[in-house]
Amino acid sequence: MPKKPPSKPAKPAKVPVHGPQHSNQVRIIGGQWKRTPLPVLSALGLRPTPDRVRETAFNWINHQRDAYWANAQVLDLFAGSGALGFEAASRGAQSVTMIDSNAQVTRQLEEIKAKLKADNVQIMRGDALSVAQSAATRGQRYDLIFLDPPYQQSFLEKTLPLCLKLLNEGGLVYAESGLSLEFAEGETPEWLANWEVIRADKAGMVFYHLLKYKP
């Protein structure tokens, strides 16, 4: 009997853009820690901002700030993997405060901070709304606030009004959502009425926006 030709090795399955490669790490895009991997606790179902989305978002922010970070006070209310907060710290933000309610998450963030020797980063365990309310009461102000909360839990509706009391003049809010924050004229919900969507885009099921206070 004729010999069968050797079978070709099976091709590895293609990995989707927002698939498994984000389940255990993401990478810092720019600044002094560029290309540094950040571990992600996949067991907790964290949904870190994908590298490509973060690169776009920080290009937007750089444009608004003329790429000047040295005086930036940053608040990351739903820190998760720390991808957004450490990205800002890597680019030279004066201070970055990261908040998360999960003890396992904050422990890992502390480990990353120690590894990077990130003296400009402060990590707190706490409820985002309570921390925001307390900071507003103390008169604490920020130049940039990251809001990447769990979807479908109305966190943006509750936190955006608080951000009005937390932003310095000309400050920015970066917000991710399962829905677009751009509405037709006359249909904008009350909690968004004071905000201008400067930039917005979509990647997969994620809508991401850069917002500015509109008096």
Give the single-character DSSP code of 101: S
180 to each of 23, 57, 109, 173, how far by Cα in Å? 24, 15, 29, 15
pTM of the entire predicted model: 0.86
In single-letter form, the type of residue at position 148 comes to D
Q: What is the pLDDT of residues 22-44, one digit of tens each?
A: 458 899 999 999 999 998 886 56
Residues 156 and 20: their CA atoms lie apart, in Å, by 27
In single-letter form, the type of residue at position 187 comes to E
Mean pLDDT across the stretch 6-30? 55
Q: What is the pLDDT of residues 53-107, one digit of tens each?
A: 999 999 999 999 999 999 999 999 999 999 999 999 999 999 999 999 999 999 9
